[in-house]
Amino acid sequence: MGCQREGVSTVNLNHPLTANYQGSWRAMKKFQYLFMTLAVLCFAVPVFAQAGGAAAPVNLVPIGAGIGMAIAAGLCGLGQGRATGSACEALARNPGARAGIQLLLVLGLAFMESLTLFTLVIVFAKVK
């Protein structure tokens, strides 16, 4: 007895109204546990293990800063794409509201871009 919704879509399996079968929740739970285990194994503490007494400590600040900058830039890019797409859709629905939509779009895009620039400043301040 799987979860059934009203108006089940038989056309596209990625549609939100697609019938959700009983086995899919179990599979998703298994994937969740698998990915959590892989994350723990990938970022485990053995990275910091010393090979001997003469080994220099590893400086991971540049690697962390690069990963942080990549995440910030990628997520800001996704946000800007969604905001621009929504503004275009709003303009298509109501062309008379162009001035207000354009003003808020530019203001929102400036705030999103500033988050990336703040991350870049922090990276330059931390990495020497």
Average pLDDT of the residues in 51-78: 81
Distance CA 110, CA 98 (A): 18
Q: For the packed helices 61-93 and 98-126, what is the interaxial angle rounded to 10 degrees?
A: 180
- C-alpha span between 112 and 79 (Å, rounded): 7
69-87 average pLDDT score: 92
> Degrees (nearest 5) of the Cα angle 124, 118, 88?
135
pLDDT average, residue stretch 47-61:
66
Query: Confidence class of residue 20 from pLDDT cuts 50, 70 and 90?
Result: low
Instruction: Determine the pLDDT at residue 63.
Output: 86
Kindly state the average pLDDT of the residues 85-107.
93
Report which of residues 47 and 36 the model is more confident about.
Answer: 36
Rounded to an integer, what distance in angstroms lies between the CA atom of residue 65 and that of residue 68? 5
Contacts for 48 with CB less than 8 Å, ≥ 6 apart: 58
DSSP letters, 2-70, are -B--TT-BSS-TTSTTB-B-HHHHHHHHHHHHHHHHHHHHHT-GGGG--SSTTPPPP--HHHHHHHHHH
- Check residue 103 and give its pLDDT: 94
- pLDDT at residue number 110: 94
State the average pLDDT over residues 53-58: 64
